Amino acid sequence: MVGQVMTQSLEGKRILLVVGGGIAAYKSLDLVRRLRERGARVRVVMTAAAREFVTPLAFTSLTNEKVSDDLFSATDEQEMGHIQLSREADLIVVAPATAHLLARAAQGLCDDLATTLLLATDKRALFAPAMNVRMWLAPATQRNVATLRQDGALFAGPDDGEMACGEYGPGRMSEPLEIVAAVEAAIKADTRLPLPVPRTDGPLSGRHVIVTSGPTHEAIDPVRYISNRSSGKQGHAIAAAAAAAGARVTLVSGPVTIADPRGCEVIHIESAREMFAAVEAALPADVFIGAAAVADWRVEAAAQKIKKEQGASAPSFALVENPDILASVARSPKRPRLVVGFAAETRDVIPHAREKLLRKGCDLIVANDVSEGSGVFGGDANEAHLVSHAGVESWPRMRKESVAERLVARLAERLAKSEAAE
Ligand code: CTP
């Protein structure tokens, strides 16, 4: 086919395009086309001023996605919060970035959807400025650009050239293909913003906490796997709570559909063995929390997809036991001071948790009832019992975030106590 781009350099990447109000907005239509040609999925957010130059319909037709422009849209807030919109993107591209938009972003203002997304994201933003030459060279704009760069923002352009207003100089928005090249370079590097420096006055400041979360996928062949219903909500909430308490957090996450928690280094893995290797590489730590629902067994995965042969009997698989990550960490020479396991039980919750505490060599077990009807697996609430060698503390049913905060508070107390006892 003539003119077709053969390389899918942005295959599967999600770009959130913020369109500001400037005459260069018409070039952003071409930018969308170029990004899509390279395999990217593009969602567009327009500022109110942008709509004066290009219609939302033009972008909808090019992206096959709804164009968002209203922060307070009730249905959107329910369907997909603005934070999620910016979190699920691999990169935010702001084109054209007007002087006003740069100023608002640099200040952290969030008075419309575009600026709210820029403030809520944990990914880098790539700005393609477009404005009058004097506005670009104005000390205020240059200060804003410096601030944004310092905060991790990237820039494409502006180019020198004849401008719509008749003047000549820097301020013209880069051509769509130049912006695409900057997008490709950003994606190739790492679009996550650098982790914020942990607070120094929190109960876990100065501590390193490793958390495992989510299920694991154990491959049967290249397309099939064994897994479980874990959502990762509890483990991710614990990682977020530990980071909020000042800890440096390494979260080793199995495949989940929820966003990475802010302020944590997140290592994405699939299988139990990958999780084990990532945990070992992350040691030493002060605390290990095994919240993942690690698959107990795996099969020796077939290199090719197993075919269904006419008349042949169903395949059978020999299961091989996976390494027990929690027990290994608890017995490791690099054992963290506190090792916390989870017990998901369907009956005799406390006795089973006590037995697990001893068998796996932990300091604490967070036990919960995951029997049918409890709604714990995949749900937002949890009824937890904290089982230690000293006794059991049972908490009422509460949101998983609250369980996480309580657990983190208990861990901070125990760490302080055990150090004081030395
Ligand atoms: N766990 C682990 N590695 C494994 C299996 C489990 O780290 N291979 C951890 C989980 O993260 C959790 C705890 O061990 O913190 C409890 O896991 P569970 O699967 O309930 O333990 P089992 O020994 O399989 O107990 P049971 O057979 O009673 O379910």
Range of the domain at 157: 14-188
- The mean pLDDT value for 230-244 works out to 95
Residue 1 has pLDDT above 50, yes or no: no
Residues 277 and 364 in one domain: yes
Residue 195 in any domain: the answer is no
Residues 177 and 226 in one domain: no
Residue 400 has pLDDT above 90, yes or no: yes
Share of the chain above pLDDT 70, in %: 94
Contacts for 221 with CB less than 8 Å, ≥ 6 apart:
301, 302, 303, 304, 305, 306
Residues 144 and 275 in one domain: no
Residue 51 in any domain: the answer is yes
Q: Which atom of ligand 1 is nearest to the CA of 341?
A: 15
Q: How many residues does the chain have?
A: 422
Residues 177 and 227 in one domain: no
Contacts for 324 with CB less than 8 Å, ≥ 6 apart:
294, 360
Q: How far is CA 265 from CA 129, 193, 203, in A?
A: 31, 11, 19
Q: 194-221 pLDDT, tens per residue?
A: 777 788 999 999 999 999 999 999 999 9
Distance 212 CA to ligand 1 centre (A): 12
Annotation says 362 is catalytic: no
Confidence of residue 3 (pLDDT cuts 50, 70, 90): low
Residues 139 and 244 in one domain: no
- The mean pLDDT value for 214-236 works out to 94
Q: Which atom of ligand 1 is nearest to the CA of 328?
A: 7
**Nearest Cα residue to atom 9 of ligand 1:** 326
Residue 129 in any domain: the answer is yes
Q: Which atom of ligand 1 is nearest to the CA of 365?
A: 15
Select from 107, 156, 154, 162 the least CA-distant residue to 132.
162
Residues 157 and 48 in one domain: yes
Give the pLDDT score at 312.
84
The best mutation among 213, 325, 371 to test binding of ligand 1, ranked by most ligand atoms within 8 Å of the C-beta, falls on: 325
Residue 239 in any domain: the answer is yes
Distance 268 CA to ligand 1 centre (A): 19
Q: Which residues line ligand 1 (CB under 6 A)?
A: 212, 272, 290, 292, 294, 296, 322, 324-326, 341-344
171 with 133: CB under 8 angstroms? yes
Confidence of residue 419 (pLDDT cuts 50, 70, 90): confident
- Which residue shows structure tokens 């071409």? 30
Q: 305-327 pLDDT, tens per residue?
A: 888 888 888 888 999 999 999 99
Select from 62, 22, 24 the least CA-distant residue to 42.
62
The best mutation among 229, 342, 347 to test binding of ligand 1, ranked by most ligand atoms within 8 Å of the C-beta, falls on: 342
Q: Exposure pattern of 43-54 as b/e (b: 16+ CB <10 Å)?
A: bbbbbebbeebb
Distance 202 CA to ligand 1 centre (A): 30
Coil, strand, or helix at residue 369? strand
Residues 174 and 278 in one domain: no
Distance 255 CA to ligand 1 centre (A): 17
Q: Which atom of ligand 1 is nearest to the CA of 272?
A: 8
Coil, strand, or helix at residue 168? strand
Give the pLDDT score at 329.
98
| pTM of the predicted protein model | 0.71
Rounded to the nearest angstrom, the gap between the alpha carbon of residue 214 and the centroid of all alpha carbons in its chain is: 13
Domain boundary among 139, 157, 188: 188
Q: Which atom of ligand 1 is nearest to the CA of 342?
A: 15
398 HSE (CA, 13 A, CB side): 13
- The mean pLDDT value for 349-363 works out to 96
Count how many domains the chain has.
2
Rounded to the nearest angstrom, the gap between the alpha carbon of residue 71 and the centroid of all alpha carbons in its chain is: 22
Select from 267, 233, 259 the least CA-distant residue to 82.
259
Residue 21 in any domain: the answer is yes
3-state secondary structure 323-367: CCHHHHHHHCCCCCCEEEEEEEECCCHHHHHHHHHHHHCCCEEEE
Domain boundary among 188, 219, 236: 188
Residues 174 and 263 in one domain: no
Residue 3 in any domain: the answer is no
Residue 222 in any domain: the answer is yes
Residues 237 and 277 in one domain: yes
Report the chain's mean pLDDT, rounded to a whole number: 91
Residue 166 has pLDDT above 80, yes or no: no
The best mutation among 236, 276, 326 to test binding of ligand 1, ranked by most ligand atoms within 8 Å of the C-beta, falls on: 326
Which CATH number fits the domain that encloses residue 320? 3.40.50.10300
Residues 142 and 251 in one domain: no
Give the pLDDT score at 79.
45
Residues 284 and 157 in one domain: no
- The mean pLDDT value for 320-339 works out to 97
Distance 343 CA to ligand 1 centre (A): 7
Which CATH number fits the domain that encloses residue 89? 3.40.50.1950
**Nearest Cα residue to atom 20 of ligand 1:** 343
CA distance 181 to 16: 16
Count the Cβ atoms, other than its own, within 10 Å of residue 23: 15
Residue 201 in any domain: the answer is no
CA distance 364 to 123: 35
Going by their DSSP bridges, the two strands 248-253 and 159-162 should be labelled as unpaired
Distance 218 CA to ligand 1 centre (A): 15
CA distance 17 to 46: 8
Confidence of residue 95 (pLDDT cuts 50, 70, 90): very high
Select from 70, 76, 44, 47 the least CA-distant residue to 57.
44
Residues 173 and 283 in one domain: no
Distance 418 CA to ligand 1 centre (A): 26
**Nearest Cα residue to atom 17 of ligand 1:** 343
β-bridge partners, 365: 341, 387
